[in-house]
Amino acid sequence: MQTYVEIFSQGEEVISGQTVDSNAAWLSQELVHLGFTVKRHTAVGDDLLDLKALLKEISQRTDCCICTGGLGPTVDDLTAQAVAEVFDLPLVLDPVALKQIQAYFISRNREMVDANRKQAFFPQGAERIDNEWGTAPGFTLFKNNCWFVFLPGVPYEMKAMFTEKVITQLKQRFSLQAKQLITIRSTGIGESDLQEKINLVDLPDYVQLGFRASADEVQTKLLFSEGVSQEQVDIVTDQVSTCIGDFVFTVDDEIQNQHRNLVSVIAQKMHQLGLSLSVQETASQGLISAKCMTQPWLVSSCFNASLQQSECEDYFEIAEEIATKIQQQHGTDLALVQLYQGSAEQFRNKQQSINVYNLLLTPKGIKSSEFKISGEQQRKQNQAALLALDLLRRYLQNL
């Protein structure tokens, strides 16, 4: 049986776009891992009537609701008042909460103003959640069919209170079986092409498929229902990864808290194999070096715009000459060289494309790749860096 949860964010800064609601995203991941089914994210501004209406709706349709924001000392912090009014519960002073707030200010040699007393008032029957990281205590309340958890909106405080105080209560109140989320990370392939490849796999009903695209990668997410064996998880994950092919650079298990990007995968292999690298960039304009900043295996990286070549040149022959030179100059095991064909105007114009040529000189010979890149200048730069790094990754993972 599924246990449903909603996330309710309060604050004018959230709905106006002044603040990105990172709390909701973080809470969703935590709640899914615990075994909840997240049904809704809702945000409401500093409006008492809107808050009351939403609280009433939520109390009648879901098992649990995690609310963030609106617990501060100012007049626009209305959460406790809204709860009290909608459920006809008077606000009552919690002496322990008041002492904790006073102690917070005393420990910092600051005077507590009278407005902070507001934060020690909770709806009658609510249970306090101590805040050891700030001034706003949280509270819990069961009403109608829903167990509410109210937490401050400051991310640092909210995350600490949820992790240290709330998770244990959630596990005690609800019969939860943790779901497992597998993230297959790939680069050099788009969402539509990924979908076409994965359509060849007959996914079982206990797997929910999703995608998340960013500038550096596309994530294929497999969410396995509670009770699915690790053997079943491994079989489906292997089937999907095999269909995607060598575009996959890593497979992460969220339960094990794995979050590896392309550079971290490369770094692990370079460290394991004890290899060093020198790089010559053109189209990526120094972004390869920036992405690999602080990595000890990157001995040298140079951006040289003058290496842009004309249409009649043999790009890979020139790249090999440069790679041999910088490998000898810096004494590295590997040398990665990037050239591109196209004018400066083509590079800047999002309507025009450029051809990028990557060459990796290794002790076992030469690896190369060629791509056509289009889009805005920043996209061309980023894609050029990623495709060069992916050539290196593919070589390392095949050793």
Which tens digit of pLDDT belongs to each residue from 200-240? 999 999 998 988 888 899 999 998 887 889 999 999 999 99
What's the pLDDT score for residue 253? 83
Q: Say yes or no to pLDDT of 254 above 80.
A: no
Return d(Cα 365, Cα 303) in angstroms, integer.
Answer: 24
Residue 324, number of CB atoms within 10 A of its CB: 13
Are 118 and 84 a contacting pair, CB within 8 Å?
Answer: no
Give the dihedral sign, CA 62/65/119/13: negative
Give the tens place of pLDDT for each residue, 24-78: 999 998 898 888 989 999 999 999 999 999 999 999 999 999 999 999 998 889 9
Instruction: State whether residue 90 is helix, strand or coil.
Output: coil
pLDDT band at 311 (very low <50, low <70, confident <90, very high): low
Return d(Cα 181, Cα 237) in angstroms, integer.
Answer: 10
User: Under CATH, what is the fold of the domain 180-260?
Assistant: Alpha-Beta Plaits (3.30.70)
CATH of domain 4-173: 3.40.980.10
Report residue 339 as tokens. Answer: 């050239």
How many residues appear in the chain?
399
Amino acid at 244: I
Percent of the chain with pLDDT over 70: 96
Q: Say yes or no to pLDDT of 7 above 70.
A: yes
Report, as an integer, the average pLDDT of 306-334: 83
Q: How far apart are the first and last CA of the chain?
A: 46
Return d(Cα 310, Cα 151) in angstroms, integer.
Answer: 61
Amino acid at 119: Q
- CATH number of 264-397, picked from 1.10.3230.20, 3.90.950.20, 3.40.50.300, 3.20.20.60: 3.90.950.20
User: What is the pLDDT of the chain when averaged over all its residues?
Assistant: 92
pTM listed for this prediction: 0.73
Q: What is the DSSP letter of 43?
A: E
Instruction: State which H helix or E strand residue 80 sits in.
Output: helix 79-86
pLDDT band at 128 (very low <50, low <70, confident <90, very high): very high
Domains 180-260 and 264-397 share a fold: no
Nearest one of 148, 151, 152, 122 to 59, comparing CA atoms:
148
Q: Say yes or no to pLDDT of 310 above 80.
A: no
pLDDT band at 143 (very low <50, low <70, confident <90, very high): very high
- Which residues have a Cβ under 8 Å from the Cβ of 25 and sit 6 or more positions away? none
Phi, psi dihedral angles at 380 (to 5 degrees)? -60, -45
What are the domain boundaries of the chain?
Answer: 4-173, 180-260, 264-397
Are 14 and 75 a contacting pair, CB within 8 Å?
Answer: no
Instruction: State which H helix or E strand residue 123 sits in.
Output: strand 121-123
Using CB atoms within 10 A of its CB, is residue 386 exposed (0-12), middle (13-18) or buried (19+)? buried
Tally of CA atoms within 13 A in the half-sphere of 155 that contains its CB: 10
Q: Say yes or no to pLDDT of 150 above 60.
A: yes
Q: Which of 74-88, 191-205, 247-261 has the lowest mean pLDDT?
A: 247-261
Residue ranges of the alpha helices (H) in 94-249? 95-107, 155-161, 167-173, 191-198, 230-244
Strand partners, 37: 4
Return d(Cα 13, Cα 29) in angstroms, integer.
Answer: 23
